[in-house]
């Protein structure tokens, strides 16, 4: 994902990119706080996470595949975030390092994940995640 390095985004495009970055950071903060319901607020109703569609399925997946769902304390550090607009969507690619804080010190990284998001503004004007993929990561869907 690379747009022209010399491209100067207009104010609307900059606003969308900034909002998308905030959504990703807020999503990880809510998951770190164990707030799955709060995290789900950042998804569109029919969002897709890997191979599951809709908030109910995503909730179930989060309960089985995340530290928040298993009661473990975690810290997700977002880095290498790149955003670009494509039509009415904002594409976000980033790296997230997930630390399980209940593990022996010093905290070792539990996972280094490459994430891809597609976000769109909804009728209320807020950006929401419509698609999320995690490279080379098998989520638990049951």
pTM (global) more than 0.95 = no
pLDDT at 15 over 50: yes
State the pLDDT confidence band at 141, using cuts at 50, 70 and 90: low
Cβ contacts of 3 within 8 Å, gap of 6 or more: 84
The torsion of the CA quartet 31, 35, 39, 40, rounded to 10 degrees, works out to 140
Domains in the chain: boundaries: 11-134
Report the CATH fold assignment for 11-134.
Nuclear Transport Factor 2; Chain: A, (3.10.450)
User: Peptide bond before 106: cis, by omega within 30 degrees of 0?
Assistant: yes
């Amino acid at each position: 994902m690379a747009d022209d390095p010399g491209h100067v985004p207009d104010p609307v495009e900059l606003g969308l990119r900034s909002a998308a970055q905030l959504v990703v950071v807020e999503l990880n903060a809510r998951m770190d706080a164990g707030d799955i319901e709060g995290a789900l607020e950042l998804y569109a109703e029919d969002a897709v996470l890997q191979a599951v569609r809709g908030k109910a399925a995503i909730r179930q997946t989060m309960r089985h595949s995340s530290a928040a769902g298993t009661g473990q304390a975690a810290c997700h550090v977002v880095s290498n975030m790149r955003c670009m607009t494509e039509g009415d969507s904002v594409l976000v690619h980033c790296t997230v390092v997930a630390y399980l804080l209940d593990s022996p010190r010093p905290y070792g990284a539990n996972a280094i994940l490459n994430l891809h998001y597609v976000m769109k503004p909804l009728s209320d004007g807020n950006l929401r995640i419509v698609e999320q993929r995690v490279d080379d990561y098998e989520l638990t869907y049951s």
